[in-house]
């Protein structure tokens, strides 16, 4: 099976439909996907029942793992094994999730058989369309949040209708969890820089919650004893892991958060060991995590990525920004002071509308795109000085928003 060639979705169905499921329950499916690196965003393998025709890249592995997770979740929850019904179900799910750009979705769903539509959709979900995309960002942020697709699909199968809010709340929780977890990492410029990125990202999320509050604990406890809880625990363990060791304070933090999510201490310890074992076995595929200053490198790679995206689309961005005087003013203000919550909400909504109209900026609409948003807001005034200068002149003497 070749996930980069047309027909691979049908091939997967041929291999798996009407066969005995290799997973007696959803937890066993999740354990297998974690062993393949899907949960950690570093897809170093695929389930053993899939035989590739050539060595696969991590992106190709990610597509297979996501499809396997979706299909066997469908079988586990509905009790059905009809592959065509699954394809209709998952396409309906993604329509409801309203992913990415409207033009892209219209192109995907405009024609062709369901398997071909799903091939295009998974390509758009895993691939970001830009060769300049940092491997570090792709693995650590975007692909690790592909699990949100899987968990939201399970909610859909169980009757949830507000898919966008469900997915948004999960992604928001992950970003908050990473932010909180970084508090307990070894102090240093690397950790501090990375924490600043996630702190800024939190401020642009609807479900933002202050650090170390009872409200956040209540939000976390709402996922107690669910398959989402296991994913959150794995993200916590991934974040506190560093240099093949976990300090006592990091261990204690993971235990506390795990207890809120409904796990015994032994289960949290097991999840921590899973992370350590995974990266020990696959150090070559995840070599950048073993380097010093990982957080600083991640921040720099994200900054370079956003810088290049802005530069490559500067003309289109200027045109789009000039059509929104309010957004121009708010972005200009952001260089001088911290925006209010209401102002940040306006900036977020208006920027997302712009991103939807520019294909190469689709990265901001993918899982984890919120992490890049504050970097974009920080860099764009410097790269578009004339537009902002003109805006300041035009708005001179006007009252603040």
pLDDT digits (tens, 9 = 90+) for 62-101: 899 999 999 999 999 999 999 999 999 999 998 887 754 4
Whether pLDDT at 243 is above 70:
no
Same domain, 340 and 367: yes
Same domain, 236 and 321: no
Q: Is residue 205 part of a domain?
A: no
Same domain, 263 and 344: no
Same domain, 11 and 47: yes
Q: CB under 8 Å to 48, separation ≥6 — which residues?
A: none
Q: Is residue 153 part of a domain?
A: no
Alpha carbon distance 335, 392 (integer Å): 12
Same domain, 175 and 267: yes
Q: What is the pLDDT of residues 89-141, one digit of tens each?
A: 999 998 887 754 445 555 555 667 888 888 888 877 775 444 434 444 444 55
Q: Is residue 204 part of a domain?
A: no
Q: Is residue 154 part of a domain?
A: no
Q: Which of 281, 313, 333 is the last residue of a domain?
A: 281
Q: What is the pLDDT of residues 186-220, one digit of tens each?
A: 655 555 666 665 666 555 554 444 445 577 788 88
Q: How many CB atoms lie within 10 A of CB 150?
A: 23
Same domain, 311 and 253: no
Q: Is residue 288 part of a domain?
A: no
Alpha carbon distance 53, 154 (integer Å): 30
Alpha carbon distance 114, 91 (integer Å): 8
Supply the pLDDT for residue 185: 62
Same domain, 230 and 340: no
Same domain, 6 and 67: yes
Q: Do the beta carbons of residue 106 and residue 112 sit within 8 Å? A: no
Whether pLDDT at 385 is above 60:
no
Alpha carbon distance 286, 32 (integer Å): 19
Maximum pairwise Cα distance, the chain? 72
Q: Is residue 400 part of a domain?
A: no
Q: Is residue 27 part of a domain?
A: yes
Q: CB under 8 Å to 99, separation ≥6 — which residues?
A: 105, 121, 124, 125, 365
Same domain, 323 and 390: yes
| Nearest alpha-carbon partner for 344 in 205, 175, 194 | 205
C-alpha of 213 from chain center: 24
C-alpha of 334 from chain center: 25
Print the domain residue range for 234.
162-197+211-281
Q: Is residue 262 part of a domain?
A: yes
Place of tokens 């990266």: 279
Token couple for 19: 């066969």
Give the least confident one: 60-69, 295-304, 365-374. Answer: 295-304
Supply the pLDDT for residue 383: 54
Give the residue with greater pLDDT, 249 vs 282: 282
Whether pLDDT at 305 is above 80:
no
Same domain, 57 and 85: yes
* pTM score of the predicted model: 0.74
Q: Which of 220, 252, 281 is the last residue of a domain?
A: 281
Alpha carbon distance 335, 332 (integer Å): 6
pLDDT confidence tier of residue 397, bands split at 50, 70 and 90: very low
Whether pLDDT at 242 is above 80:
no
Q: How many separate domains does the chain show? A: 3
Token couple for 236: 């916590």
What's the angle, vertex CA 107, arms to CA 348 and CA 320, rounded to 5?
35
Alpha carbon distance 314, 356 (integer Å): 15
Q: Which of 281, 310, 343 is the last residue of a domain?
A: 281
Q: CB under 8 Å to 107, separation ≥6 — which residues?
A: 120
Supply the pLDDT for residue 205: 55
- Helix axes of 8-16 and 58-78: crossing angle, nearest 10 degrees: 50
Same domain, 24 and 126: yes
Same domain, 104 and 183: no
């Amino acid at each position: 099976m070749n996930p980069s060639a047309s027909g691979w979705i049908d091939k997967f169905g041929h291999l798996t439909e009407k066969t005995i499921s290799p997973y007696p329950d959803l937890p066993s499916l999740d354990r297998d996907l974690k062993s393949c690196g899907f949960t950690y965003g570093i897809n170093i393998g695929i389930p053993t029942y899939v035989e590739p025709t050539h060595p696969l890249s991590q992106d190709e592995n990610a597509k297979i793992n996501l499809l396997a997770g979706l299909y066997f979740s469908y079988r586990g929850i509905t009790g059905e094994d009809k592959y065509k019904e699954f394809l209709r179900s998952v396409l309906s799910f993604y329509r409801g999730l309203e992913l990415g750009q409207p033009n892209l979705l219209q192109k995907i769903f405009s024609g062709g058989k369901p398997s071909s539509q799903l091939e295009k959709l998974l390509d758009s979900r895993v691939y970001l369309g830009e060769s300049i995309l940092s491997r570090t960002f792709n693995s650590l942020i975007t692909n690790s949040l592909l699990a949100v697709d899987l968990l939201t699909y399970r909610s859909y199968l169980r009757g949830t209708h507000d898919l966008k809010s469900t997915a948004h709340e999960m992604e928001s929780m992950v970003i908050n969890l990473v932010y909180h977890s970084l508090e307990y990492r070894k102090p240093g410029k690397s950790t501090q820089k990375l924490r600043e990125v996630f702190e800024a990202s939190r401020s642009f999320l609807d479900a933002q919650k202050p650090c170390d509050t009872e409200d956040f604990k209540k939000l976390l406890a709402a996922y107690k004893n669910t398959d989402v809880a296991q994913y959150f625990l794995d993200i916590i363990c991934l974040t506190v892991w560093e240099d093949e060791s976990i300090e006592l304070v990091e261990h204690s933090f993971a235990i506390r958060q795990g207890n809120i999510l409904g796990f015994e201490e032994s289960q949290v310890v097991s999840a921590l060991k899973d992370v350590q074992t995974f990266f020990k076995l696959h150090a070559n595929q995840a070599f950048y995590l073993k380097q010093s200053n990982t957080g600083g490198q991640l921040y720099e790679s994200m900054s370079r990525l956003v810088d290049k995206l802005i530069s490559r689309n500067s003309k289109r961005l200027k045109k789009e920004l000039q059509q929104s005087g309010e957004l121009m003013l708010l972005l200009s203000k952001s260089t001088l002071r911290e925006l209010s919550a209401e102002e940040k909400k306006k900036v977020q909504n208006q920027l997302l509308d712009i991103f939807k109209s520019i294909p190469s900026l689709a990265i901001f609409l993918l899982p984890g795109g919120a992490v890049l948003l504050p970097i974009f807001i920080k860099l764009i005034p410097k790269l578009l000085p004339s537009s902002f200068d003109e805006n300041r002149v035009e708005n001179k003497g006007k009252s603040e928003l």
